[in-house]
Amino acid sequence: MKNNNLNISVIIPTYNEAGTIKSTIEHLKSLNDIHEIIIVDGGSTDSTLSLMSEGVKLIAAQKGRAVQMNAGAFAASGEILLFLHSDTRLPSDGPQQIKAAFSNQNVVGGAFKLKFDHPGLFFYLTALGSNLRAGLTGFYFGDQTIFARRKDFLQIEGYPEVELMEDWIFSRKLRLMGKTVLLKGPVLTSARRWLTYGKWRTTWLMHKIKFLYLLGVSPADLKRMYSDRR
């Protein structure tokens, strides 16, 4: 059974994304099978808001990825919700990959394999590690572009509105609803965090945060270690 009639709502949380949002919107408009683009801004102080184009739905929300993504989801009309970072690009057949996955009625959501927009062995291995972790555990992070059926998203009450690790918690809850899938993608995501703050330093920090979360450290305490570098 094909689901070619399923509508995909793309939800993008933004905060000072003037450097990326225009090209992201243009890229999405070049793809087939995108029902709507929803930008949820968390109070940008740069020119992000002036770069919106015709046909994009703009929503204001309190700053915070989980809060912003939930606001976008509740305003969406598509049967499928796709949560995209402003510095990430879908593959040209990304919407078709999603619709094919949902031909299995047991699938409730998932994410994509990723690659970085910067060459080199370090970024190849970093992407490989992320993809292996996601494939083995079913736990996804936002740069892998999480998607879900809207009805299942609402049933688990969306993203937990915590300071950090909302993607990890959400994907874990989604798995309890049914089957989740890691699509071949790949989505192309920015390496700017690693290039700006140091490759090994950033990698160590991200692994440290995951380890401490598993040990029971609260998202609020973890947030103090991590700067939001969108």
DSSP letters for 133-178: HHHHH----GGG--EEEHHHHHHTTSS---SS-HHHHHHHHHHHHS
Instruction: Give the chain's domains with CATH numbers.
Output: 8-192 (3.90.550.10)
Q: Which residue has the higher pLDDT, 37 or 228?
A: 37
Angstrom distance (rounded) from CA 182 to CA 143 = 13
Averaged pLDDT for residues 187-205? 87
Question: Quick one: pLDDT at residue 169?
Answer: 93
Mean pLDDT, range 27-38, rounded to an integer:
95
> Which of the four pLDDT bands, split at 50, 70 and 90, describes residue 1?
very low
Mean pLDDT for all residues in the chain: 91
Q: Over the stretch 12-22, which tens digit does the pLDDT of each residue have?
A: 999 999 999 99
pLDDT-based confidence at residue 221 (cuts at 50, 70, 90): confident
Q: What is the pLDDT of residue 230?
A: 40
pLDDT one-digit tens code per residue, 86-100: 999 999 999 999 999
Of all residues in the chain, the percent with pLDDT exceeding 70 is: 96
Beta-carbon contacts of residue 85 (< 8 Å; ≥ 6 apart): 12, 13, 142, 143, 145, 189, 230
161-168 mean pLDDT: 88
Whole-angstrom CA distances from 223 to 30, 163, 170, 213, 215 are 36, 6, 17, 11, 15
What DSSP line would sit under 93-127, residue for residue? Answer: THHHHHHHHTTSTTEEEEEEEEEESS-SHHHHHHH
Note the pLDDT tens digit of each residue in 112-156: 999 999 999 999 999 999 999 999 999 999 999 999 999 999 999
What pLDDT, on a 0 to 100 scale, did the predictor assign at position 213? 74
pTM: 0.90
Give the model's pLDDT for residue 219. Answer: 73
- What's the mean pLDDT in 6-11? 96
What's the gap between Cα 7 and its chain centre? 18
**Is 2 in contact with 31 (CB distance < 8 Å)?**
no
Rounded CA separation 31/183 (Å): 17
Give the other-Cβ count within 10 Å of 133's Cβ. 14
Instruction: List phi, psi (to 5°) of 200.
Output: -75, -35
